[in-house]
A and B are shown apart, each in its own frame.
Chain A
């Protein structure tokens, strides 16, 4: 009962948050100098005042600010995200076209980073001064400090040019033909480098954190008790210690979810990945307000769902959270 109530509260907060996101972003977009008429004229190589006025009138940009915002939010409340100024297409259609590519990239990178990060963390926690531990430290330092686009370009030069293993850009090769598995392998090949690039930052984060919590847990009383009971090292580490050290990592992973989406913008730009990040970036430059707001709306939704999933995952690994409701 209590948990249902807390769920309802969460949904209410989420709705308020979404409206706040819309109002804030609409205002910020409005404050930025220039509008979509300018960028349309740029893509056309210049336009005269008459044409600019015509474009502004077409998109209702000549109306007062509050009227524009009122109209927009009114439409969103009726689940209508509007029409993209720049692409002349419904925003929902544009986003749904791009969303799967981003989710695929983000989920795979996130899950791999989490999985490998935890394993590396555990290994190095068991022997804090071993070679493996130093390796993890260096990897973490490198992964966290190297700029995404630099890692990306470096990987491209290494594995697309010098050793021609992976394709340079895009998500699939449109010239190949074949059944499902041919395309599956094709997409997988295209994904390798972007996933490594995006995953490297988070891998660093997770391996550091799980190393630290694991070391803390390994030094705690109940681990000593477990060892005293005569359990093997393996049982102690993987059955008792690991479960307890996971909850901070999962919390962090949930919090990082939004960061993964923003990190995807850069990765998508380097690898021409046809996802939401590229669309967001282009729409901001194009002052395509409906598209940007639509993307932010969807991202907020994704983050909220991500946080809910984190919550559920925490309940699974940590009974203390479960009992608290």
Chain B
């Protein structure tokens, strides 16, 4: 055995000598990857639980029909091929024949149909599968999704963590809405993904091991993944530096990102978050007080210096974002934006009927959902002082306190971070759709309403021609950036950190909410 290892090592060394460039691309089997989750996991079943913390283990445990490459092109995964009918009303998935669940049961089209039902009944993103009326299962390896209208967003919704195929023989033992609280969501989880669950200890770790009968021959490369739960970003940073962690994702604090960039042996990259699509913005309540006047909203945009936010607050880690769509998305159309101009701002406020009285034009409040964006909020207060707007910063004790204010419209302005979640239909429409003015955070909490915007979104949702769809979203972005229900300032700078031992880290479009069957450890 030892001899073989030695020979192998010698061969590798020789190969390395002969082809120094090719060597880096040759994956190796084996090893334990130690990685990290930044907050506690509630649930490992990504069919009923969204969110990036569930997404990482979820995408290893469960497979989805498709996966995406870094150019936003769909690739076969559980579906070896797929076709969409001419009218866009039926989508046929041809499943791989050799897929099985971790308990040895073969995966069939029945499981696909069941999973769609479960996701429709339990997942918070209703728009993903709302047009899917039924799923036919003509044979064990063919699933036909019947749609009520063309639904191009379905492609992205069938990838990443959004469409986890879960086993009917395990989760189908009760009411379909009970899957949310199924006991097998946390223990003894059975999927068909590249890794199976070894141990999930709440607040401590999730441990996964290689599934030897995974349907893709020779994969995954890793034997084991240890996902440690470390909620303190400073502690995580030290663990990357001293080598305790091989890899981690979703790091967003500029100071820590810039510090880790200087560490030898670590790579820190913003690549790979296009479909997660996190963007920061200044939300403005269009249903309340002076902010219902678009001129006031524009005046605020002209007074807030984005440059300062990018350079001083984000310290160069974030990217400019000018519309509701993430800059990495194929649908992104950059808008001109609002270069800081205090005179124009003052003029707009005068015009809107808010002259300076006793040194002040108006008083507004600003909230923030998490402590990480407090500097932005303090900055807005200082910036608006220059155009004689008094701003009161309202701190919230914790997330639910803030969410209540947002959900009930009890706010003027707020700093917020919202995710695109793949196709605009899933994560973008909800903020601007006038039929989505609901109680509850991350709906159209700004009470924005524009008939043309509603119409554009409705058309884009069913448009199957890619170029036409892009044109519709371009017009949509132009109106939204002009009318400013939210002022888009920057991306949330999610970064992936990994050390030199890690080969092929997940840098596609889904962050770590994607199977890492191609990731390996060097040596």
| A residues in contact (CB < 8 Å) with B | 32-35, 38-49, 51-52, 54, 58, 86-89, 94, 97-98, 153, 156-157, 160-161, 164, 167-171, 174-175, 269-272, 274, 278-279, 282, 284-285, 287
Please report the C-alpha to C-alpha distance between residue A41 and residue B399 in the assembled complex, in whole angstroms.
Answer: 11
| Chain A positions within 8 Å of B398 at CB level | 34, 284-285
Tell me if B42 counts as interface (CB < 8 A to partner A). yes
A153 and B234 in contact (CB under 8 A), knowing A88-B185, A175-B226, A272-B229? yes
A174 and B407 in contact (CB under 8 A), knowing A43-B53, A44-B51, A270-B235? no
A32 and B401 in contact (CB under 8 A), knowing A47-B440, A49-B439? yes
| Pairwise interchain contact A167-B230, C-beta atoms closer than 8 A | no
Query: In the complex, which of the residues B181, B207, B442 contacts A46, with contact meaning CB atoms closer than 8 Å?
Result: B442
| Pairwise interchain contact B241-A161, C-beta atoms closer than 8 A | yes
A43 and B42 in contact (CB under 8 A), knowing A33-B404, A285-B399? yes
| Pairwise interchain contact A168-B238, C-beta atoms closer than 8 A | yes
A42 and B441 in contact (CB under 8 A), knowing A32-B401, A169-B239? yes
A49 and B438 in contact (CB under 8 A), knowing A98-B203, A161-B241, A270-B235? yes
| Chain A positions within 8 Å of B49 at CB level | 43-44
| Pairwise interchain contact A38-B400, C-beta atoms closer than 8 A | yes
Tell me if B34 counts as interface (CB < 8 A to partner A). yes
What 16 new A-B contacts, CB under 8 Å, besides A46-B125, A174-B228, A285-B400? A39-B399, A41-B440, A45-B419, A45-B421, A46-B440, A51-B124, A153-B234, A156-B235, A167-B244, A168-B230, A168-B238, A169-B228, A170-B204, A271-B235, A284-B398, A285-B398
| Pairwise interchain contact B404-A34, C-beta atoms closer than 8 A | yes
CB-CB nearest in chain B for A50: B126
Please report the C-alpha to C-alpha distance between residue A32 and residue B399 in the assembled complex, in whole angstroms.
Answer: 11
CB-CB nearest in chain B for A269: B232
Which one of A32, A42, A161 has the highest number of Cβ atoms from chain B below 10 Å of its Cβ? A42
Tell me if B202 counts as interface (CB < 8 A to partner A). yes
Q: Mark B364-408, 1 if CB is under 8 A from A, else 0.
A: 000000000000000000000000000000000111110111010
| B residues in contact (CB < 8 Å) with A | 32, 34, 40, 42-43, 49-51, 53-54, 123-126, 177, 180-181, 183, 185-186, 199, 201-205, 207, 226, 228-232, 234-236, 238-239, 241-242, 244, 397-401, 403-405, 407, 419, 421, 427, 430, 438-443
A168 and B399 in contact (CB under 8 A), knowing A38-B441, A46-B442, A98-B203? no
| Chain A positions within 8 Å of B440 at CB level | 38, 41, 46-49, 52
| Chain B positions within 8 Å of A271 at CB level | 235
**Nearest CB of chain B from residue A313's CB, rounded to whole Å:** 33
Please report the C-alpha to C-alpha distance between residue A28 and residue B516 in the assembled complex, in whole angstroms.
Answer: 44
| Pairwise interchain contact A89-B186, C-beta atoms closer than 8 A | yes
A38 and B126 in contact (CB under 8 A), knowing A170-B204, A175-B226? no
| Chain A positions within 8 Å of B242 at CB level | 160-161, 164, 168
| Pairwise interchain contact B430-A34, C-beta atoms closer than 8 A | no
Which one of A157, A272, A274, A285 has the highest number of Cβ atoms from chain B below 10 Å of its Cβ? A272
Please report the C-alpha to C-alpha distance between residue A287 and residue B124 in the assembled complex, in whole angstroms.
Answer: 19
| Chain B positions within 8 Å of A156 at CB level | 234-235, 238
| Pairwise interchain contact A45-B442, C-beta atoms closer than 8 A | yes
| Chain A positions within 8 Å of B226 at CB level | 174-175
- 7 residue pairs, one from A and one from B, having the closest CB atoms: A34-B400, A46-B442, A47-B124, A44-B50, A168-B239, A33-B404, A274-B204
Please report the C-alpha to C-alpha distance between residue A194 and residue B202 in the assembled complex, in whole angstroms.
Answer: 20
| Pairwise interchain contact B185-A48, C-beta atoms closer than 8 A | no
| Pairwise interchain contact A39-B203, C-beta atoms closer than 8 A | no
Please report the C-alpha to C-alpha distance between residue A153 and residue B236 in the assembled complex, in whole angstroms.
Answer: 11
| Pairwise interchain contact B42-A86, C-beta atoms closer than 8 A | yes
Please report the C-alpha to C-alpha distance between residue A64 and residue B66 in the assembled complex, in whole angstroms.
Answer: 46
Jot down 28 A-B pairs with beta carbons below 8 A, ordered by A: A33-B400, A34-B399, A34-B403, A38-B407, A38-B441, A40-B42, A43-B49, A43-B50, A44-B50, A44-B124, A45-B50, A46-B443, A48-B124, A48-B438, A48-B443, A52-B440, A87-B42, A87-B186, A97-B201, A160-B239, A168-B230, A168-B239, A169-B228, A169-B230, A175-B226, A271-B235, A278-B203, A278-B231
| Chain B positions within 8 Å of A284 at CB level | 398
Please report the C-alpha to C-alpha distance between residue A87 and residue B236 in the assembled complex, in whole angstroms.
Answer: 24
| Chain A positions within 8 Å of B201 at CB level | 97, 274
| Pairwise interchain contact B203-A274, C-beta atoms closer than 8 A | yes
**Nearest CB of chain B from residue A56's CB, rounded to whole Å:** 11
Please report the C-alpha to C-alpha distance between residue A7 and residue B177 in the assembled complex, in whole angstroms.
Answer: 51
**Nearest CB of chain B from residue A168's CB, rounded to whole Å:** 4
Query: In the complex, which of the residues A35, A161, A174 contacts B238, with contact meaning CB atoms closer than 8 Å?
Result: A161
| Chain B positions within 8 Å of A170 at CB level | 204-205, 228, 230
| Chain A positions within 8 Å of B236 at CB level | 169
Which one of A46, A98, A285 has the highest number of Cβ atoms from chain B below 10 Å of its Cβ? A46
| Chain A positions within 8 Å of B124 at CB level | 41, 44-48, 51
Please report the C-alpha to C-alpha distance between residue A278 and residue B202 in the assembled complex, in whole angstroms.
Answer: 11
CB-CB nearest in chain B for A49: B438
| Pairwise interchain contact A168-B244, C-beta atoms closer than 8 A | yes
A38 and B238 in contact (CB under 8 A), knowing A46-B124, A49-B439, A174-B207? no
Please report the C-alpha to C-alpha distance between residue A269 and residue B239 in the assembled complex, in whole angstroms.
Answer: 15
| Chain B positions within 8 Å of A282 at CB level | 40, 203
| Chain A positions within 8 Å of B50 at CB level | 43-45
CB-CB nearest in chain B for A157: B238
**Nearest CB of chain B from residue A7's CB, rounded to whole Å:** 37
| Chain B positions within 8 Å of A285 at CB level | 398-400
CB-CB nearest in chain A for B205: A174
**Nearest CB of chain A from residue B42's CB, rounded to whole Å:** 6
| Pairwise interchain contact A279-B203, C-beta atoms closer than 8 A | yes
| Pairwise interchain contact B399-A42, C-beta atoms closer than 8 A | yes
